[in-house]
Structure 1
Amino acid sequence: MARRILIAVIAIIVLLSAGCRRQADNGEIPDENIENGNVAGEEDEGKDEEKIDEIQSIVDGMTLDEKIGQLFIFGIDGTEIDDYTINMIDSHKVGGFIFFGNNLETAEQTVELLNSLKERNRNNILPLFFAVDEEGGKVSRLSKFFSNLPNARTIGSINQEDISYEFGRVLAGRLKELGFNMDFAPVLDINSNPQNPVIGNRAFGSTKEAVIDNGIKVMEGINSGNIISIVKHFPGHGDTSVDSHVDLPVIGKSLEELKSLELVPFKRAIEEDVDGIMVAHILFPELDKDYPATLSENIIKNLLRDELSYDGVVISDDMTMGAIVENYSVGEAAVRFLKAGGDIVLVCHGYENQISALNRVKEEVLSENISLRELNEKVYRIIRLKMKYGLSDILVEEYDVERINRQAEELLNRIKR
C-alpha cells in the first residue's frame, strides 16, 4: 500500500508539471524561467531529475514477477471477469488488457467489466492499461453503443487540421467516458498500394503529406482527452499485398526508400513526443532478411531507437496473428521482440499463449539472456507512461452515452458543411 501511495503522489507531480508546461506552450502563463533569469531552466532540470529518481526507486522496489507482468497486455474471453483473468492479475501482475467487440456488448456491461478489473487489481503496485482499437470507420470496438465515426481516409480527404484534431478528441472522449486509457490509433501507414488488403481506408491517404497533416493532429486530439495514443504500424504497412493477420507480408524496399516515404509520418510523430509506437509483423529483407520487424533488432533497436532517437514505449502487434504463429511459437516471438528492443508484448488470444509467453520471458530473464538492466529499462518506460496520464484504479461511477454521441454528431455536422 505504501508503494501505491508513493506512485500516486509521483503521478500527481508529473501531471501537474505537464499541465504547467502545456499552459506555458499555449501562452497562458509567462515563462517564469526567463523572467527570473533562469534561462537554462536549471530549477526545472533539478525537478525532472528528482522525478526520474523517484520512478527508478519504484522499479528497484518491484519483484521480478511484477516487472515481467508489466511487459504484457493480454486479451480476455467473454464479457465479464473470469478465473483466467483473475489469475493474470493476482499471480502474474499483468500490465494491462485489450478489448474487442465480443468483450463489449453495452456501455453498462463495459463499465462493469473495466471496474471489476480495476477492483481486482487494487492490491497490485501499478494500475492497468485498458486498450482498444478505436480508429473510426470499420475499426471501432465501441460501435454497438456509440455513433459511427468516419474512417481515416474521409478525415484525410477533408484535410483540415481543426477537423482532424476534433476527430481525435471525440475518439478520446468515448474511451475516457467508459474507463479506457489507451487507444491503438491513429494509423500512420501510407496507403501507397491500392491492392493492400488490410489498411485501405484506415489510412489518412496515399501520400506522406496527407498522413502527417491529419494523423499527427488526430494523435494530438486523442492526447488532449488524456488518452494514450499508440500509433501504428511501424515501419509501415501501407505497401503490403498480404494481410499480416493471415500470413507474413514481405516488402522489398530499401532503407532509403522507406526513409523517403513510410518512415516520414513516424519520424514526425517522434518529434511530437508520441506516447507509443506499435511495430508491424512484416518482413523487410533489405533491413533484416531473417526476422519480421517485430522481432528484428536491426529495425527496432538500430532504426527506431538509435537512428530515429525514440525512447518511448514500443508495443508489438498481436503475437497470435498468422504472420507470427505460422512461423514461431508465441513464447519465442515474445522473447525475440523484447530482446530486439520492444517493451510491451501484445497477446490478444488464448490463455495458453499468454502463459507460454510469460513463462518463456521469465526463463530468459532468470538465465540472463534478457539482462536485469534491459528489463528495468523497459519497466521504467512503462511506469513513466502510466504516470504521465495519471492512470489509476478509480472506478467509473457515472457515464453518459448520449452526451458522447452528441459530440460525434456535432463533428459529423461540421464535416458535412
Structure 2
Amino acid sequence: MNQLRSYRQSRRRFGKLGVVLLIGVCMLLMQSCARPQANETKPSPTAVEQDPLDRQIADMSLEDKVGQMIIAGIDGKVIDPEASKMIKDERIGGIILYGNNISDLQGMVALVNALKQANAGNSVPLLISVDQEGGKVSRMPKSFTAIPSSKKVGATNNPALAEEMGTLLAEELKLTGFNMNFAPVLDVNSNPANPIIGSRSFGSTAELVSRMGMAEMKGIRENGIIPVVKHFPGHGDTSVDSHLELPVVNKTREELAKLEWLPFEAAIEQRTDAIMVAHILYPHLDPDKPASISAAIIGDVLRGKMGYDGVVMTDDLTMGAITKNYGLAEAALDSVQAGSDIVLIAHGYDNALQVRDTLLKSIQENKLSIEQIDKSVRRILSLKQRYQLNDETVPVPDLKDLNARIKAWINKL
C-alpha cells in the first residue's frame, strides 16, 4: 500500500514537471521561428510603402512627363498624320476639340475613337476635352437638343436646375467619349460691355454665380466628367476679348477678393479638380504679365493665399492676348514656372511641339526643376486615375432618351 501511494505521488509530480518542460520547449521553438536567421533580409519598408504613382512617375521618361503637361488642338474633322504622331511619338497628354473639328454625331465619335486608338501604346490615357457650356459655347452636333446658356439657368435662382444642367452636359460628353469639360464658367458678369462673357455667366453677383456654379460642377463631376472651372481670377469685368487682345483690369487685390475671387474660393472649398487661368493683365498684382503666366497670381494668390493644390491650366496660349504681346514658348515656360501644370496649345502642331521642346530644354538648363515637373505630373496622373480614365472606344449613341430629358429640363426653366 505504501509503495502504491509513493508511485502515485511520483507520477503526479513528474507529470507536472513534464507539462512545464513541454511549455518551455514550445516557447523556445516559437522564439527560434520568430528570430530572423543570419542569411535572411528584412523587407525594405520603402519598397512596401512606396506609392504606386511614385513608381509610375519614376519609370516615365522626361519626354513622357512633359507631354502630359500639354493639351493640344488638331486640324480638321479626322485624325491626320501630324495629330497621330503628336499623340504616339510626342506623348501629348490631352486633346481639345472645337466646332471646326466636328461634323455630325458619327463623325465626332469616330474622331474621338481615333484619337484614343492613336494613344494605344501609351499607358497613360488621353484627356479628351471640349468647351461644352451650353448657350453660345456649344460643340455638340445638331443631333443633340441645344442646352440653354448659364444666364438663362441663373435667372431661375434654382441650384437644382444648375446641377441638372451639369448632369446633362456630362452625359452628352460621356456618351461621345469625352472625359473633360471646360465648364462651369465662374466669371461674375459685372461689366455690361463685356464682349466675351455675357450670357456665359450665371449672373452679376458673386453669390449667385457661386451657388449655381457649384451645383453645375457637382452635376458634371458626379457623372464621370472632369470639370474645369474658369476663368480665374475672373473675366467678367473685361471690355476686351482676350481671343483678340490683352484685357486689362485695374482692380486691387482687395477689390478682386470682394467679387471676382469668391466663386473660385467656393470651388476650392469644394475641392475642384482643375482651374483654368485667364489671359488678363492685373497691373495692381503684376504689371508685366497676365494672370496665365504670372507667378504673382498663380503662385502667390492661387497656390499661396488660396491654398489650391489641384491641377492648374492656362487658357489657350495661341490666343491674341498672348501671341500679340509675348512669345508663345516663353509664355508657356513662364506659366509652368509660375505654377501651372498644363498649358493649352489649341492651334498649330508646330506650336505644340515648340512648347514641348522649350520645356524640355528649360529642364536641361535648370530653368525648371525635375521636382516641379514631377509635382505637376503627379497632379495630372492623380486626376486621370481619380476619374478612372481609359482609352476605350465608344459606340455611336442613341440620343432619343437624353434629348427627351434635356427638353423636359428646359421646360422647367
The bucket for the TM-score relative to the shorter chain is 0.7 to 0.9
CA apart distance, 1:55: 1.1
1:190 aligns with 2:188: yes
The more displaced of 265-274 and 352-361 is 352-361
CA apart distance, 1:403: 2.2
Give the secondary-structure state (helix, strand or coil) at the position aligned to 1:317.
strand
CA apart distance, 1:70: 0.2
CA apart distance, 1:330: 1.3
Q: 1:269 aligns with which of 267, 270, 277?
A: 267
Determine if contact 1:96/1:129 at 8 Å carries over to the other structure.
yes
Determine if contact 1:107/1:401 at 8 Å carries over to the other structure.
no
* Equivalent residue letter for 2:359: V
Q: 1:261 to 1:376 in 2, by over 3 A?
A: same
1:138 aligns with 2:136: yes
CA apart distance, 1:398: 4.7
Which deviations, in whole Å up to 9, do the C-alpha atoms of 1:285-323 show, x marking residues without a partner?
A: 000011000110010011000110100000100001000
Percentage of identical aligned residues: 46
Partner Cα distance (2:211, 2:195) in 1: 24
* Equivalent residue letter for 1:324: I
Which deviations, in whole Å up to 9, do the C-alpha atoms of 1:157-191 show, x marking residues without a partner?
A: 10112111001000000000000000000100000
Which deviations, in whole Å up to 9, do the C-alpha atoms of 1:353-388 show, x marking residues without a partner?
A: 111111111110111211000000000000000001
Which deviations, in whole Å up to 9, do the C-alpha atoms of 1:95-148 show, x marking residues without a partner?
A: 010001111111111111111111111111200000000000000011422111
Partner Cα distance (2:338, 2:398) in 1: 43
Q: Which residue of the partner structure matches residue 307 of structure 2?
A: 309
Partner Cα distance (2:69, 2:394) in 1: 26
Give the secondary-structure state (helix, strand or coil) at the position aligned to 1:314.
strand
Determine if contact 2:102/2:141 at 8 Å carries over to the other structure.
no
Q: Which residue of the partner structure matches residue 362 of structure 1?
A: 360
CA apart distance, 1:76: 0.4
The number of residues matched between the two structures is 366
Partner Cα distance (1:75, 1:199) in 2: 22
Partner Cα distance (1:53, 1:368) in 2: 27
* Equivalent residue letter for 1:109: G
Partner Cα distance (2:343, 2:108) in 1: 24
Q: Which has the larger radius of gyration?
A: 2
Give the secondary-structure state (helix, strand or coil) at the position aligned to 2:384.
helix
Q: Which residue of the partner structure matches residue 11 of structure 2?
A: none
1:96 aligns with 2:94: yes
* Structure 1 runs not aligned, ≥5 long: 1-49
Q: Which residue of the partner structure matches residue 248 of structure 2?
A: 250
Partner Cα distance (1:309, 1:145) in 2: 42
Q: 1:276 to 1:92 in 2, by over 3 A?
A: same
* Equivalent residue letter for 2:394: V
CA apart distance, 1:239: 0.4
Give the secondary-structure state (helix, strand or coil) at the position aligned to 1:346.
strand
TM-score, with length taken from structure 2: 0.87
* Equivalent residue letter for 2:242: S
* Equivalent residue letter for 1:125: S
Give the secondary-structure state (helix, strand or coil) at the position aligned to 2:395.
coil
Determine if contact 1:105/1:144 at 8 Å carries over to the other structure.
no
* Equivalent residue letter for 1:396: V
Partner Cα distance (1:362, 1:125) in 2: 21
Partner Cα distance (1:228, 1:136) in 2: 16
* Equivalent residue letter for 2:102: L
* Equivalent residue letter for 1:364: S
Determine if contact 2:105/2:141 at 8 Å carries over to the other structure.
no
Q: After superposition, where does 1:240-389 map in structure 2 within 5 Å?
A: 240-389=238-387
Q: 2:230 aligns with which of 226, 229, 232?
A: 232
Determine if contact 1:182/1:229 at 8 Å carries over to the other structure.
yes
CA apart distance, 1:54: 1.2
Give the secondary-structure state (helix, strand or coil) at the position aligned to 1:139.
coil
CA apart distance, 1:414: 2.0
Q: 1:245 to 1:338 in 2, by over 3 A?
A: same
* Equivalent residue letter for 1:247: E
Give the secondary-structure state (helix, strand or coil) at the position aligned to 2:316.
coil
